[in-house]
Chain A
Amino acid sequence: MKLGTSAIIGGMLFALAIFVGLFAPWLAHTDPVMGANLVNAEEPPSWIWWFGTDAQGRDIYSRVVHGARISLTVGIVSQLVNSVIGVTLGLTAGYWGGWWDDVVNGLTNVMLAIPSLIFALAIMAVLGPGLTSLLIALGLTNWSFTCRIARASTLSLKSQGYVQAARVLGYGDLRIMITQLLPNMIGPIIVIGTLGMGGAVLAEASLSFLGLGIRPPYPSWGSMLSEARDQITTAPWLSVFPGLAIFLTVLGLNLLGDGLRDVLDPQSRSRRT
């Protein structure tokens, strides 16, 4: 396993975001919601207010730090749900084939035809804003690529000697899928998952920006951007810092995903062995 420089930078950016999210209560200077004090309204960044304050006098640094929690929770959890759905559907469809394969293929094609953000928007519109709705909306709408890859990998792995051998040795279908198929396709699944996580962080920001995700006063990076919209010229720091947080996190995940692809890609693997 040899990761490239850009992948290491990406990994460090992502690790930083996780660290900030995990230790948000200790890193923040003030309470992100209740810390309002009109005396300090609209302060530009300074030694006291690192990222400045907003119209209600809330510390933007503290809000960005807490925002990491929500944005990363949404990114990680929803992508995990997507990966589990995609792998389960793709693996079983490829393995069993027949009518089940047709059903999964049909479903995947539908998902691929509808832009996932539009689909998520529709789900949010029905469920109403909030963290749970966000997790559901983003977790159910972005599994089609994972599913495609899992199905294609299964089809090519199915004829491998060790899968046939497992059948001869009395392995059941589930055991074959878990021990013989899944570990041999996990590389590309992780790559897609990492890239998808970046996508989910962006999608959260977009939905919250549109007022459909996390609602103010709770700070997600998207909801902060949404609130800052009207003051973009008068108090640009309100947009710049949450925007930068989104940018760095998504960039980090993309660099990491690309780097992992180079390492885990089945072709580069066979070249090494």
Chain B
Amino acid sequence: MTAAPLIEVEGLRIDLADGARHVAAVEGVSFRIDRGETFGLVGESGCGKSITALALIGLLRRPLSIAAGAIRFEGREIQGLSAAEQRALRGNRIAMIFQEPMTALNPVSPVGRQIAEMFVLHKGKSWREANQLAVEALANVRVPAPERRVKDYPHQLSGGMRQRVMIAIALACDPDLLIADEPTTALDVTVQAEIIELMRNLCAERGTAILMISHDLGLVANVCSRVGVMYAGRIVEERGSDDIFRAGAHPYTQGLVDSLPRLGSRAALGRSRLREIAGVVPAIADFPSGCRFNPRCAQATEICRTTVPETTWLGAGGLVRCHHHA
């Protein structure tokens, strides 16, 4: 194992350009993921989880841009790479699957061809070899009769099957990091559990690290060993998954935990929404000063409205950013 982490994000700030004005949509975000590790980012809609992921693979586009900080993959800064070097990482070393298996596949191309394309593109295989590898890749994601399924078009497959195809595509080149952005939100709860299990097993077998993004704390904690809780563009707490549940230190984290159904299986945890935290995430332009959670926080005091809380280190590499943390 090398000394440098697989991916390291340091002081990331993402600006949203609004005419001549620039506002920080994401600010001071730092985390690291080691080889084979599973890390989760949780937070309500609009916290900046997806744009953080896009920044990792060098795909932020106007009006968003990286304004400060560094993203290092195996010690090399992503922003310093040429466009071609970045493309060679994407899909090959860092892969990503999305929420929408319905639309993430090309409707006029057989799924086998879309998998095979990865081998042609990144591994320099011939189409002949690539087509064979595509059948294997489909078999790996437990699609029955893969040699027939490769000829199917996306509309011939169910949502769960399509998401399996997406996973096959993402894992085709044996990436070092898989980013899963809400990979199962669009699926039925039972299918959801299957897909998550499949993804987790495949990554564990291959030593692929996972960055899992979701607003579902239960789901993320289930898959990941460490969790970063994001609120309004900042990471407010980062802990081991067990610690988060047992003793969330940040009022927002506690709110997330409280909003989960108390009883029930892991599958039941899947669909929870954050009903119990009153209010919504403010728009980027309206982020409050001080701690951004203060308008919604029951424990807020004067200092919370004026001063951004410092990082407090907790045991076992955990951290929290709150003036009055537990």
Residues of A within 8 A of B (CB): 160-162, 164-172, 175, 179-180, 183-184, 273
Contacts and interface: CB of A to CB of B under 8 A. Distances in A.
A122 B96 CA distance: 54
Given A165-B98, A168-B57, A171-B121, A180 B106 contact: yes
A179 B87 CA distance: 16
B121 A168 contact: no
A184 B57 CA distance: 26
A162 B103 contact: yes
Contacts of B170: 169
B105 interface: yes
A188 to B, nearest CB: 13
Given A162-B106, A165-B104, A179-B106, A170 B89 contact: yes
A169 B121 CA distance: 10
11 contacts: A161-B104, A162-B107, A164-B98, A165-B98, A165-B166, A167-B90, A168-B57, A175-B121, A180-B106, A184-B106, A273-B107
Nearest to B95: A169
Contact of B104 (A162, A171, A184): A162
A169 B90 contact: yes
A161 B91 contact: no
A71 B169 CA distance: 48
B44 interface: no
A167 B102 CA distance: 17
Contacts of B32: none
In the complex, which of the residues B92, B98, B106, B122 has the most CB atoms of chain A within 10 Å of its own CB atom?
B106
A175 B106 CA distance: 13
Contacts of B166: 165
A184 B107 contact: yes
A170 B117 CA distance: 11
A160 B107 CA distance: 11
Nearest to A163: B106
Contact of B90 (A170, A180, A184): A170
Contacts of A169: 90-91, 95-96, 118, 121, 169-170
Contacts of A175: 121
Contacts of A184: 106-108
B109 interface: yes
A161 B103 contact: yes
Nearest to A187: B108
B91 A168 contact: yes
Interface residues on B, range: 20 to 34
Contacts of B57: 168
Interface in B48-71: 57, 59
Nearest to A172: B87
Given A161-B103, A170-B121, A179 B155 contact: no
Closest 6 CB pairs of A and B: A161-B103, A169-B91, A170-B91, A170-B90, A161-B104, A165-B104
Given A170-B122, A183-B109, A184-B108, A161 B100 contact: yes
Nearest to A171: B121
Contacts of B91: 168-171
B88 interface: yes
A103 B59 CA distance: 26
Nearest to B120: A175
Nearest to A161: B103
A163 to B, nearest CB: 8
Nearest to B53: A168
Contacts of A161: 98, 100, 102-105
Nearest to A270: B107
A79 B88 CA distance: 38
A170 B103 contact: no
Given A169-B96, A175-B121, 9 more contacts: A165-B98, A165-B166, A166-B106, A168-B90, A169-B90, A169-B95, A170-B90, A171-B121, A179-B117
A164 B170 CA distance: 14
Contacts of B118: 169
In the complex, which of the residues A167, A172, A175, A180 has the most CB atoms of chain B within 10 Å of its own CB atom?
A167
A203 to B, nearest CB: 32
Contacts of A165: 98, 104-105, 166
